[in-house]
Amino acid sequence: MSKKYKILVLFIAAVLAFYSVPAMAAPPMNVHIVSLETIADNGGTFTITGAAVDSGLVCPTGTTENISNVGTGPDGGDFLNLRVIKRFTCDDLSGTFDVQLLVRLDLVTHYTTARWTVVDGTGDYASLQGRGFLVGTPVVEGESITDVYDGTMK
């Protein structure tokens, strides 16, 4: 076998090894988050269940705080689109993670739907990734809402 051929084979093996590492990374784990949000307090509490908690990837309880909230929608319309950044702070002091929510608020029923994505983290959650969907149900209209997040994290 020629020296050039050996180098080519080693190069190809290295490239294949490099690209196969992400495929071998841990798969995303299911997560179910229930958060009671109080509008006047700009935050609330959360409880997380699912494989992501069972494996120790993410904490089971904590508090939330809205970091930013920008709304758009037609004047006099029956809906509002919101881009929210919400910070989840874990009770066990393991860190925080920020979630971006792309929300559609029905101004008639006050129910919400959203897509969510983890966009930042600190401590144990500095490299946390996740995404999913949310359904919000008003508890006391205009005062509180229960948000239910379903998705995956890794």
| pLDDT (average), residues 23-47 | 88
- Residue 19 located in a structural domain: no
- Residue 21 located in a structural domain: no
- Three-state DSSP class for 95? coil
Using alpha carbons, select from 22, 24, 61, 25 the residue that is nearest to residue 44: 61
pLDDT in tens, 99-127: 999 999 999 999 999 999 999 999 999 99
- Residue 18 located in a structural domain: no
- Residue 2 located in a structural domain: no
Token representation of residue 20: 């196969």
- CA-CA distance, 21 to 45, in Å (whole number)? 37
Q: What are phi and psi of 17, to 5 degrees?
A: -65, -40
Look up the domain containing 107 and give its range.
Answer: 28-153
The DSSP string of 111-146 is -EEEEEEEEEE-GGGTT--EEEEEEEEEEETTTEEE
- Residue 135 located in a structural domain: yes
Residue 20 has pLDDT above 50, yes or no: no
Domains of the chain: total: 1
